[in-house]
Structure 1
Amino acid sequence: MNEDWNVDQGTLVNAWQEQLPEYLNPGDKTIVQADLADPYGLRIHINAEGRQDYTFDFQCSYLDRREVKVELVDVEREGVTVNEQSEQVQNLTEDYVRHIHECAQALHRITNPS
């Protein structure tokens, strides 16, 4: 990232941990942690609501103060890695990526204050 970054990673993690649940399904659980390899990055773990017992791990990196890049790292079901290409997993992944981007937009008040 080439822009001046004035947000402490801990502040960012706390803001995401507080804001992200508002964009997920009511029963979904999330854990947001600092990406120790990327000072502009987060690791997002989501336990999906429902009987499927899916968990998703995403890496979210700020490209600049407004834009994030979201990558799926892993999907598990009942603790076992699953095929990320299945239609159900693809649909859930797309939904979560969209929600993560929506949360990033909401947090512009922190990352890109005017």
Structure 2
Amino acid sequence: MGKSDELQMNQENLADAWRQTLPEIMNKADRCKVMPDEADAKSLRVTINTAGHQEYSFDFKVTYVDSREVKVELVDVEKENISVDERGDIIQQLIQDYTRHLHECAQTLQQLTHA
């Protein structure tokens, strides 16, 4: 894998592209926030807030392995600003859904990230 397959986009532009694209992929009612990861130029921090009375907030770290592939890590799940155990069924299901949405978003943005 040569240098040519590395991410060619600066982090701020990447975050902007994600801000525009991710809401179109996700459930309409959920809200998301995308920030550059200050510690890692190839990563973004994505916070997804679930709709409805289950006010869960999911923090993900999305890291570009190369220009097309992302690694998605769950950082934290909170409910009303308190960390919750992410092993419950509902939460596991949401994590899987959101992880899939994040991979979809990365795929949708391939024409931008893959120079």
Measure how far apart 1:6 and its partner are. Answer: 2.2
Q: Which residues in structure 2 correspond to 1:1-114 (within 5 Å)?
A: 3=3, 4-113=6-115
How many pairs are equivalent?
113
Task: Give the SS at the match of 2:7.
Answer: coil
Please tell me the root mean square deviation across aligned C-alpha atoms, in Å: 1.3
% identical aligned pairs: 47
Structure 1 runs not aligned, ≥5 long: none
Structure 2 runs not aligned, ≥5 long: none
Task: Give the SS at the match of 1:37.
Answer: coil
C-alpha deviations, 1:36-84, integer Å up to 9, x for none?
1111100000111111000000000000001000000000111111001
* TM-score, length of structure 1 as denominator length: 0.94
Q: Which runs of 4+ in 1 moved over 3 A?
A: none
CA–CA distance in structure 1, aligned partners of residues 38 and 87 of structure 2: 28
CA–CA distance in structure 2, aligned partners of residues 79 and 36 of structure 1: 22
Q: Which amino acid aligns with 1:41?
A: S
